[in-house]
């Protein structure tokens, strides 16, 4: 797949290398294995969310319900573990994933059947989930704790690499296989370009939309489980700071926000880049204001570079 | 007239819903339809209303502005520095606040038009920059706005809430004439069919630039009015307003695909959203359940719009 | 020539390159005031590109444009309009969500981005009235207008701009004959008052009626310019195609009317648009569906592949009653229907994807086929002589005719039992048409049943074994054999009783 390795998708990797080199001049510890593996661990949280978002964006849609699917999954899983019942505790992760898939299907129904613009419908779903969470927890941080499994998933190591990173890469690899080697992936991109023509080619387009949103929901839920494992708790609004970086990671990775074009390889780079950028800015103890500004400017610069390059070589 | 109703049925529906909601709000409010109640209500509505206007200008040209809240935060922080002092100073201060908003919008427009990047992505990034700038100005909430000026703008004139008067001026003094200008027409043309607009001799770049500048300008107005209501500067207000402004324009009958809707609809949508929230407050629904109800009402309202699709008897009709 | 006054528009050594494609290659072209100049050529000959250059939509790679002898640069449609060059585009330049009045005002002369006063609306109204558009209300949204009404508005919009050069690019394709006549009267009047008119049409009789001069384009070059009447129809066709077309249509095979029935539709009705339609298509038969636009024939085809909800009537495939609820179920092996929709750009193809990906899209969902197998497509691609620079290129890089070949090949890969086509040759050059006719006849001879909707009488007569003419949702006449004559078809499309002398063969 020549397209999967387009220059657009390689750009964030160049960015990562540049960041590491530049960061190491200021802070030599950036080059340490500890620091880098920690970045991989943290990047996995954003990366899983961005993986799901990539699938939906390839479809030509967007999922704004990420924050509260994530939070809901975290609340659900920690509550099940917190119940003390070993059966419920074992079900925590599968239940969270099922929850994500369910919300994904609800998103898909609004988008594919009711034909509501995804930006609006997923936003409404997000606010309903927020309402449910508030009702359920009384507006306080929910009680509960993470299971040993969840903590291992978020913070464990395997062969010197963080488990969360391995999970992320495994999920990405599995989905990449689906996107490039199965009809589902072909349909997904085809719908992203032209849904009508795809439907007329004898494709059940609503099922593809359902599946894509369900995958995205499960990715968001998995991200929530990992974050809960990382913090050993769930808390209100834990997902809110992730929404915009998620979309940024996808588009920096070369996936077109209009659908059809792009892939998961770039998204992995995008998530790594954004995580590293955030981390280096905070290591440099730059205050919040400048961090926001630099973050926005760098994202814009990368996007401008993408389009300028295309403008130069049509 | 019939043509008018048909082509503006979304605004008409939104207006009717708003009146019904307002009536039940005033009916259930313990203090009834007093100027005080109306003023509080109108102020809350107008803040979101102006944010929705900002969003409208981006959406009508088939764009979206995710920086509406950020522009509000930035202009709110600017306002907390320049709205205290002499009368003339404050007049220039107000101009500076709105000008800062317009500048933000112009920047968005320039990047979108000349950088050829999708509005959703551009404004996502610039929102971060604007919030950063706001944080530079006000790392923590603070500053002050002249109380007399704030009172003058957020209370009432002869029993009519000033916020409603401002709304009226925005519609009658700005929107209705604006709709009859080449630029007003050009916005719709661009959002409805860019190719047709271009071939008709419209300068599409200029019109798109103007649309995003107007979005920024109204974001600035929203930030300014917010400053009068809160009389302080806070860089942390961005997130809620952006998403609510999108919800408001959709409720007001503005189609995200561009070219359809009006400023009146956007205002009505915002007023509806805020009225629902206020209504809930006095309705006896447990406060913990209110966010859920709000979300469900929003979702239902949107889904009703989509229910048309279930009736489409030609399956190709739904792809457009 | 040096002494004559400068022509209104002069194009000198114009080239237009899109990547490696040369849409125009060193073209000289002039257009004089007070003259209707027809431009002819196959699709892809460069006509549309020429018009877009004049209208300022595109800018030439090389070459110079002059208006009345002065060099001009047309950087945008606005610039062209300022020089009085007004184009009525094939793809309508109306904004669907705005009203007729607003569309007329959009970009009207003197209307910038400021206050609009509505000057010129009277003239537009007068034009509309003259060309049969009295029922078009200025307050109606363009989206709610029919296609002919939109074309009428488009014409009024163009005339309102007081053009010095008026381009009509397939401007009257959807209008009825009487309206076309009144439009032509209007154009002649404009010409007589000194306007230059550039006229593009695929209908020879229209060129016959209107043109003073004719230029023929082929492969991005102007091959000839002559006064109308200097060459006959056949000679002009030869200039367009570059070779002699002896036989446009392949020969019909006798005996198909006795073979097995593949598609058997009984009492098909939907809403008030299709009423009680029954027909059969047999192995080896090409059955035509004709009629004026929007008489239900297109809707009927959509209904057959499951695009309509709540249809009435029964459909049987090869004797088996079949419930077809979606294109997906229609393409299933047990049904074997393939539907080639009318609009190849938005319905038939995914323009941003490669030729290869488009070819595979229909076969992907069939468990019994390997969509990646190139032999599925090789046969039909070769037969249709698809011109391409590599199957990995985007399908949008192909010309219209070649795009339609890709749509055909994509569906033929499934080996359909019954092929449904919605006007597959609309807007396609003569050579591609013959290739499509040949492959359709060949498929029929190999046993495929073909249902062909067409707006071209010649196809209904020369290609089809039997033709059903729709009128207001019903089959007004079913013609075959010796009954299949232009007179009978025209009579049936207008639902006047057929000429009585036609006896059954």
Residues B176-199: pLDDT tens digits? 999 888 899 999 999 988 888 888
Q: Which segment, A100-109, A159-168, C60-69, C143-152, is predicted with the most confidence on average?
A: A100-109
Mean pLDDT of C407-418: 92
**Position C3 pLDDT exceeds 60:** no
DSSP label at residue C58: S
C265 forms beta bridges with: C279, C315
Asked if residue A5 has pLDDT above 70, the reply is no
Give the pairing type, strands C312-317 and C21-31. Answer: unpaired
Q: Of C91, C95, C347, which has the smallest distance from its Cβ to B192's Cβ? A: C95
Domain regions of chain B by residue span = 2-319
Does A128 lie at the interface with B, CB-CB under 8 angstroms? yes
The angle subtended at Cα B98 by Cα B188 and Cα B241, nearest 5°, is: 70
**Which alpha helices (H) appear in A232-263, and where do they start and end?**
243-252
Interchain pair B180, C112: CB under 8 A: no
> Where in chain A are the domains?
7-309
In this predicted structure, the answer to whether residue A1 has a pLDDT above a threshold of 70 is no
Q: How confident is the model at residue B227 (pLDDT cuts 50, 70, 90)?
A: very high
Tell me, yes or no, whether C54 and C15 share the same domain.
yes
Task: Indicate if C36 and C173 belong to the same structural domain.
Answer: yes
**Dihedrals phi, psi of C40, to nearest 5 degrees:** -120, 155
Which residues of A fall within a CB distance of 8 Å from B261? Answer: none
Of C283, C285, C286, nearest to C260 (Cα)?
C283
Examine the domain organization and report whether C142 and C90 are in the same domain. Answer: yes
- CATH number for the segment(s) A7-309: 1.10.3470
Q: Which of B274, B120, B54 is nearest to A119 (CA)?
A: B120
Could you give the percent of chain A with pLDDT greater than 70?
Answer: 96
How many CB pairs (< 8 A) connect A and B? 157
pLDDT at C4 exceeding the cut of 80: no
Same domain? For C91 and C227 the reply is yes
pLDDT for residue C401 is more than 70:
yes
Phi, psi of B38 (to 5 degrees): -65, -40
Dist CA C491 CA C499 (whole Å): 8
pLDDT for the residue numbered B2: 64
Residue C294 — left, alpha, or beta (φ > 0 → left; ψ -120 to 50 → alpha)?
A: left
CA-wise closest residue to A131 among B285, B195, C499, B266: B285
CA C278 from chain center: how many Å?
Answer: 28
Which residues lie below 8 Å from residue A7, measured CB to CB, with a gap of 6+?
Answer: A254, A309
Alpha helices in chain B (DSSP H): 2-7, 9-28, 35-60, 68-82, 87-115, 119-137, 147-154, 162-168, 176-179, 182-192, 194-199, 204-230, 238-251, 263-282, 290-311
Whether C268 maps to a domain, the answer reads yes
- Strand pairing partners for C66? C10, C71
Relative to beta strand C196-200, strand C165-169 is parallel
Q: State how far residue C290 is from chain B, nearest Cα, in angstroms.
A: 21
Q: What is the DSSP letter of B314?
A: B
> What is the number of alpha carbons within 13 Å of residue C404 lying toward its C-beta?
23
Share of residues in chain C with pLDDT > 70 (%): 92
Q: Which of chain C's residues have a Cβ under 8 Å away from the Cβ of A197?
A: 346-350
Name which of A188-192, B24-28, B218-222 the model is least confident about.
Answer: B24-28
Q: What is the pLDDT of residue A313?
A: 43
Contacts of B294 (CB under 8 A, 6+ apart): A127, A131, B276, B277, B280
**Residue A312 pLDDT grade (very low, low, confident, very high; cuts 50, 70, 90):** low
Instruction: Tell me the residues of chain A between 228 and 267 that have a Cβ less than 8 Å away from chain C.
Output: 260-261
Best mutation target among C298, C353, C413 (most A Cβ atoms within 10 Å) is C353
- Neighbouring subunits of A (3+ Cβ pairs under 8 A): B, C
Q: How confident is the model at residue C242 (pLDDT cuts 50, 70, 90)?
A: low
Domain presence at residue C248? no
Question: Do residues C151 and C266 both lie within one domain?
Answer: no
C143 with C59, same domain: the answer is yes
Q: From residue A158, how far is each of A153, B97, B110, C334 by CA, in Å?
A: 10, 54, 48, 52
Sign of CA dihedral B216, B218, B219, B223: positive
Encode pLDDT of A93-106 as tens digits: 999 999 999 999 99
Q: Cβ contacts of residue C190 below 8 Å, gap of 6+? A: C159, C163, C166, C197
- Candidates B255, B241, B283; CA nearest to B29 is B283
Partner residues linked to A85 by β-bridges: none
- B40-50 pLDDT tens trace: 889 999 999 99
Judge if C328 and C375 occupy the same domain. no
pTM of this prediction?
0.85
As a whole-number percent, the residues of chain C with pLDDT over 90 amount to: 27
Residue C473 lies in a domain: yes
CB contact under 8 A, B189 and C89: no
The encoded tokens of residue C208 equal: 């016959």
Task: Identify residues of C whose CB sits under 8 angstroms from chain A CBs.
Answer: 19, 326-328, 330-331, 339, 341, 346-353, 357, 360-362, 364-365, 371, 410
Domain count, chain C: 3
Nearest-angstrom CA–CA distance, C134 and C394: 45
Residue finishing a domain among C218, C243, C268: C243
Position B116 scores a pLDDT of: 86
pLDDT of residue B221: 95
Residues C195 and C276 in one domain: no
Cα dihedral B35, B37, B38, B41 in deg (nearest 10): 150
Range of the domain at C460: 256-336+416-504
Q: In what order do the strands lie in the sheet with C196-200?
A: C85-88, C165-169, C196-200, C36-41, C213-218, C221-227
Distance CA B16, CA B23 (A): 11
Q: What is the DSSP letter of A158?
A: E
**Position with higher pLDDT, C74 vs C428:** C74
Residue C39 resides in a domain: yes
- pLDDT band at B3, cuts 50/70/90? low
Q: Average pLDDT, stretch A237-250?
A: 88
Query: What tens digit of pLDDT does each residue of C148-181 get?
Result: 888 889 888 888 888 899 998 877 777 777 888 8
Say if the Cβ atoms of B182 and C141 lie within 8 Å.
no
* CATH number, domain with residue C493: 3.40.50.300
CA of C17 vs chain A CAs: smallest distance (Å): 12
Q: How many helices (H) and strands (E) does chain C have?
A: 16, 20
DSSP assigned state of C364: G
Nearest by CB to B185, which of C55, C78, C106? C106
> Same structural domain for residues C144 and C204?
yes
Contact A293 B296 (CB under 8 A): no
Statement to judge: residues C326 and C445 lie in one domain: yes
Q: Which residues of A231-260 are buried (b: 16+ CB within 10 A; e: fewer)?
A: eebbbbebbbebbbbbbbbbbbbbbbbebb
As a whole number of Å, the end-to-end CA separation of chain C is 62
Closest residue to A116, CB basis, from B127, B302, B319: B302
| CATH class in words for B2-319 | mainly alpha
Does residue C80 sit within a domain? yes
């Amino acid at each position: 797949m020549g397209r999967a390795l387009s220059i657009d998708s390689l750009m964030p990797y160049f960015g990562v290398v540049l960041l590491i080199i530049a960061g190491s001049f200021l802070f030599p510890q950036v080059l340490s294995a500890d620091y880098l593996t920690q970045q991989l661990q943290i990047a996995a949280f954003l990366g899983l969310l961005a993986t799901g978002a990539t699938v939906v964006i390839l479809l030509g849609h967007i999922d704004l319900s990420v924050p509260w699917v994530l939070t809901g999954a975290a609340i659900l899983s920690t509550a099940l573990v917190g119940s003390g019942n070993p059966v419920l505790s074992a079900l925590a992760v599968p239940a969270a994933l099922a929850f994500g898939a369910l919300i994904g299907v609800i998103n898909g129904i609004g988008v594919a059947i009711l034909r509501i613009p995804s930006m609006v419908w997923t936003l409404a779903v997000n606010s309903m989930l927020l309402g449910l969470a508030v009702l359920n927890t009384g507006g306080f941080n929910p009680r509960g704790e993470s299971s040993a499994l969840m903590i291992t998933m978020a913070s464990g190591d395997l062969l010197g690499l963080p488990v969360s990173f391995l999970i992320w890469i495994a999920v990405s690899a599995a989905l990449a296989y689906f996107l490039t080697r199965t009809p589902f992936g072909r349909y997904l991109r085809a719908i992203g370009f032209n849904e009508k023509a795809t439907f007329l080619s004898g494709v059940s387009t609503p099922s593809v939309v359902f599946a894509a949103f369900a995958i995205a929901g499960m990715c968001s839920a998995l991200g929530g489980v990992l974050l809960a494992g990382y913090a050993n708790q769930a808390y209100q609004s834990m997902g809110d700071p992730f929404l915009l970086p998620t979309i940024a990671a996808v588009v920096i990775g070369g996936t077109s926000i209009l659908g059809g074009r792009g892939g998961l390889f770039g998204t992995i780079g995008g998530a790594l880049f954004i995580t590293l950028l955030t981390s280096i800015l905070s290591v440099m103890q730059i205050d919040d204001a400048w961090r926001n500004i630099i973050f926005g400017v760098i994202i814009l610069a990368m996007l401008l570079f993408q389009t300028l390059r295309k403008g130069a070589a049509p | 007239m019939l043509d008018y109703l048909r082509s503006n049925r979304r605004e008409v529906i939104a207006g009717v819903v708003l009146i019904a909601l307002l009536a039940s709000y005033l009916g259930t409010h313990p203090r009834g339809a007093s100027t005080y109640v109306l003023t509080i209500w109108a102020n809350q509505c107008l803040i979101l209303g102006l944010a929705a206007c900002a969003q409208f200008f981006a959406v009508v040209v088939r764009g979206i502005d995710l920086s509406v809240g950020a522009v509000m935060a930035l202009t709110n922080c600017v306002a907390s520095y320049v709205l205290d002092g002499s009368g003339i100073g404050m007049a220039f201060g107000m101009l500076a606040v709105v000008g800062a908003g317009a500048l933000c919008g112009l920047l968005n427009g320039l990047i979108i038009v000349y950088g050829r990047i999708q509005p959703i992505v551009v404004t996502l990034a610039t929102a971060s920059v604007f919030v950063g700038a706001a944080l530079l100005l006000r790392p923590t909430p603070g500053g002050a706005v002249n109380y007399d000026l704030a009172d003058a703008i957020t209370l009432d004139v002869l029993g009519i809430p000033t916020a409603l008067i401002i709304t009226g001026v925005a519609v009658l003094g700005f929107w209705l004439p604006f709709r009859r200008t080449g630029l007003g027409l050009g916005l719709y043309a661009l959002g409805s069919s860019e190719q047709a607009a271009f071939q008709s001799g419209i300068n599409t770049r200029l019109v798109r630039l103007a649309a995003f500048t107007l979005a920024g300008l109204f974001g600035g107005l929203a930030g300014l009015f917010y400053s009068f209501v809160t009389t302080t500067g806070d860089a942390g207000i961005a997130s809620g307003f952006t998403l609510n402004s999108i919800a408001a324009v959709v409720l007001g009958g503005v189609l995200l695909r561009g070219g359809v809707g009006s400023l009146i609809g956007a205002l009505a949508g915002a007023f509806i959203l805020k009225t629902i929230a206020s209504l809930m407050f006095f309705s006896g629904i447990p406060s913990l359940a209110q966010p859920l109800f709000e979300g469900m009402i929003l979702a239902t309202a949107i889904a009703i719009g989509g229910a048309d699709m279930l009736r489409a008897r030609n399956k190709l009709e739904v792809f457009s | 020539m040096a002494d004559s006054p400068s022509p209104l528009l002069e194009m000198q050594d114009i080239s237009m390159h899109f990547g490696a494609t040369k849409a125009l290659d060193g073209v000289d072209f002039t257009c004089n005031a007070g003259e209707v100049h027809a431009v002819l050529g196959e699709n892809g000959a460069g006509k549309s590109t020429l018009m877009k250059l004049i209208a300022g939509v595109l800018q030439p790679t090389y070459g110079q444009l002059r208006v009345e002898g002065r060099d001009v640069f047309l950087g945008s449609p606005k610039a062209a309009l300022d020089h009085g060059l007004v184009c009525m585009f094939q793809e309508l330049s109306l904004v669907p969500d705005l009203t007729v009045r607003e569309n007329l005002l959009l970009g009207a002369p003197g209307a910038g981005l400021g206050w609009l006063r509505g000057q010129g609306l009277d003239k537009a109204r007068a034009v509309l009235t003259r060309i049969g558009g009295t029922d078009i209300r200025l307050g109606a949204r363009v989206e709610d207008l029919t296609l002919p009404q939109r074309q009428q508005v488009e014409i009024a919009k163009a005339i309102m701009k007081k053009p010095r050069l008026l381009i009509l690019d397939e401007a009257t394709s959807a209008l009825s004959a009487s309206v076309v006549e009144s439009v032509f009267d209007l154009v002649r009047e404009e010409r007589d008052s000194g306007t230059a008119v550039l006229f593009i049409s695929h209908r020879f009789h229209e060129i016959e009626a209107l043109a003073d001069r004719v230029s023929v384009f082929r492969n991005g070059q102007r091959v000839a310019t002559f006064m109308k009447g200097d060459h006959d129809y056949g000679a002009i066709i030869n200039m367009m195609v570059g070779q002699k077309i002896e036989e446009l249509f392949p020969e019909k095979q006798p005996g198909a009317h006795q073979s097995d029935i593949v598609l058997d539709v009984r009492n098909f009705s939907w809403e008030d648009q299709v009423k009680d339609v029954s027909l059969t298509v047999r192995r080896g038969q090409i059955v035509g569906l004709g009629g004026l636009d929007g008489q239900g024939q297109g809707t009927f085809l959509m209904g057959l592949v499951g695009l309509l909800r709540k249809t009435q009537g029964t459909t049987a495939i090869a004797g088996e009653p079949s419930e077809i609820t979606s294109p997906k179920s229609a393409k299933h092996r047990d049904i074997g229907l393939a539907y080639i929709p009318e609009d190849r750009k938005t319905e038939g193809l995914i323009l941003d994807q490669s030729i290869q990906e488009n070819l595979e899209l229909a076969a992907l969902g069939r468990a019994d086929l390997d969509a990646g197998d190139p032999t599925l497509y090789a046969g039909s691609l070769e037969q249709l002589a698809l011109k391409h620079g590599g199957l990995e290129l985007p399908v949008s890089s192909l010309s219209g005719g070649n795009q339609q070949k890709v749509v055909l090949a994509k569906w033929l890969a499934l080996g359909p039992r019954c092929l449904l086509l919605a006007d597959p040759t609309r807007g396609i050059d003569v050579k591609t048409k013959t290739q499509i006719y040949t492959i359709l006849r060949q498929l029929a001879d190999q046993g495929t049943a073909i249902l062909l909707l067409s707006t071209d009488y010649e196809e209904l007569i020369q290609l089809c074994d039997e033709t059903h003419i729709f009128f207001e949702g019903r089959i007004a006449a079913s013609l075959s054999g010796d009954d299949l004559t232009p007179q009978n078809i025209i009579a049936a499309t207008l639902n006047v009783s057929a000429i009585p002398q036609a006896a059954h063969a």
